[in-house]
Amino acid sequence: MRAIVVDPDECLSPHWEMRRRDQVELVWHKPFEGVGRVRALAWTCDCRAVVYELLQAGGQAFIRKTTQAEPIPEVEETHRWPIEEARRVWHALLLGEMR
């Protein structure tokens, strides 16, 4: 089987930066099943093994992490924040300041 090489310049979604030495650790939980409608606000490129999504539900926002693994992807989520706070965390995650 041949590996697929993706040129980062061809990707449409942003890539998260590698972890920084002094990063803040996010707490990850199993996905919360009680939410009906979820709106995707932002996401990272799926060319990497780990994909992050900034999601909104019920006036709050959270980050979902999907580790693309076989046979089933592993999905985890942060707790909920007010939307503006979640956007700050999202920005820090993209910069490698949180993970």
For the chain, 99 residues long, give each residue's pLDDT as a single digit of tens.
344 444 556 777 777 666 667 778 899 999 987 767 899 999 999 888 899 999 999 899 999 999 998 899 999 999 999 999 999 999 999 988 887
Whole-structure pTM value: 0.82
Q: Are 30 and 62 in contact (CB under 8 A)?
A: no
C-alpha 64 chain-centroid distance: 5
Report the chain's C-alpha Rg in angstroms.
Answer: 14
